[in-house]
A and B are shown apart, each in its own frame.
Chain A
Amino acid sequence: MLTDDVRDGGGRATPGAIAERAADVASGDPRIGRVRELLAHLESGNTNEADRLLGDIAHEHDTGLFQEVGRLTRELHEALNAFRYDTRLMDLANVDIPDAKERLHYVIDMTEQAASRTLNTVEQSKPVCEEIRTRAHGIHEDWQRFMQRKMDVTEFRALSARLDEFLPWTEGSATRISDNLSEALMAQGFQDLTGQIIRRVIKLVEEVEGNLVNLIRISGQKLGSGPEPSAKPADTLDGPQIPGKRQADAVSGQDEVDDLLSSLGF
């Protein structure tokens, strides 16, 4: 496929190049002189000299044509070889594209793991916070009664015992929450890694794009002269709107969704 395209391109260029060279040769002065010389020999009946000159001219012409065909053949051959041995193109198709797909899958996995790690820490921390609040609230109520001297000695002893247990327990709980927060913090490291991976994939996409443009150019087709791109099916899903690339017929946020739905009677 690739080879055919290149051959087509080279084949189309050949007649043009020859015509160009022919034009150069016709405008060259030396031959006019030699034709005059030939005419002079013929007029004076000097046939031997005339035949020799004619032979020279024909020979020279053939040599030029052969050289031109030779040059074009060599160029075509080199162009074909350049494509055949352009391992970068083969690498792109065989190695880099599958590799990029793997990378993007990895990005999905990594972001999912990071979200999961973060959610775990939140789920573990929330009940601890809830318990601290409940227990502190109870102790606070009793403490206020003590401050207002509304507490007898027995009750105060019980309160002291609760405080004695509550304070170190709170310390331990705070450590657990802090550890969870650190875990949530560390889990955000995925952003750096996935960012790097995605940037590499973008570079690869740009390289593939460049190569495709080259292929189209070599195959002799002008960009944009192809068939009209077929319309996107109406039910195609576009997924998240990318900042800076928002589509004209997409809403810009929840407010617009609400406006649209209320215009429909919601």
Chain B
Amino acid sequence: MDKNMKILVVDDFSTMRRIIKNVLHELGYSNTDEADDGKTALPMLQGGSYDFVITDWNMPGMQGIDLLKAIRSDSKLASTPVLMVTAEAKKDQIVMAAQAGVNGYIVKPFTAETLREKISKIFERLQATA
């Protein structure tokens, strides 16, 4: 997995963005950017070449699930892997995210180990199917 890959972290709470960025840094990924909701994230994704998106679900403006759907329906972005990190723990919601094409789903609170494991799993699967 390329440690220099460009990652966009989307969460309305700056604290959570910092925690995720710090964990990513610890895991060796330091090429990260932040956005505070889907509305801010989408133009960033369309404008820059991001390799990976980590997004919250419940955000003002544009929610994570809508951001995911927008990514999947944009031909240039459709193949970008998306990991959802959210406090939403209802089964219906997890299924909804899976149907919308999410690559991984982590419920808050989470550990650095869970984040590492899910990221490597996502890229292992992508390499296997590529």
User: A residues near B, CB below 8 A?
Assistant: 111-112, 115-116, 119, 122-123, 234, 237-241, 247, 249-254, 257, 260-261, 264, 266
- 17 additional A-B pairs beyond A116-B15, A240-B87, A253-B107, beta carbons within 8 Å, are A119-B18, A119-B19, A123-B22, A237-B93, A238-B89, A238-B90, A239-B87, A240-B108, A247-B90, A249-B90, A249-B91, A252-B89, A254-B107, A257-B107, A261-B98, A261-B105, A266-B98
The 16 sampled A-B contact pairs (Cβ below 8 Å) are A111-B15, A112-B13, A112-B15, A122-B22, A237-B88, A239-B88, A240-B87, A241-B87, A251-B94, A251-B107, A254-B107, A254-B110, A257-B107, A260-B94, A260-B95, A266-B98
CB-based contact B58/A239 at 8 Å:
yes
Q: How far apart are B90's CB and chain A's nearest CB, in angstroms?
A: 5
* Bound Cα distance from A31 to B72, whole angstroms: 91
Assuming A116-B18, A253-B107, is B88 touching A238 (CB within 8 A)?
yes
User: B residues near A, CB below 8 A?
Assistant: 13-15, 18-19, 22, 57-58, 63, 87-95, 98, 105-108, 110, 114
B19: chain A residues within 8 A (beta carbon): 115, 119
CB-based contact B14/A116 at 8 Å:
yes
A119: chain B residues within 8 A (beta carbon): 15, 18-19, 22
Q: How far apart are A232's CB and chain B's nearest CB, in angstroms?
A: 11
Q: How far apart are B93's CB and chain A's nearest CB, in angstroms?
A: 8
A260: chain B residues within 8 A (beta carbon): 91, 94-95
Q: How far apart are A234's CB and chain B's nearest CB, in angstroms?
A: 7
* Bound Cα distance from A237 to B92, whole angstroms: 11
* Bound Cα distance from A237 to B93, whole angstroms: 9
* Bound Cα distance from A249 to B114, whole angstroms: 23
B92: chain A residues within 8 A (beta carbon): 234, 249
Q: How far apart are B95's CB and chain A's nearest CB, in angstroms?
A: 7
Assuming A237-B58, A239-B58, is B88 touching A257 (CB within 8 A)?
no
A115: chain B residues within 8 A (beta carbon): 15, 18-19
Q: How far apart are B34's CB and chain A's nearest CB, in angstroms?
A: 13
Closest A residue to B65 using CB positions: A235
Which 3 A-B residue pairings sit nearest by Cβ, starting from the closest? A240-B87, A115-B15, A250-B89
Assuming A116-B18, A119-B19, A257-B106, is B57 touching A250 (CB within 8 A)?
no
Q: How far apart are B81's CB and chain A's nearest CB, in angstroms?
A: 13
Q: How far apart are A162's CB and chain B's nearest CB, in angstroms?
A: 29
* Bound Cα distance from A246 to B103, whole angstroms: 26
CB-based contact A257/B94 at 8 Å:
yes
Q: How far apart are B110's CB and chain A's nearest CB, in angstroms?
A: 7
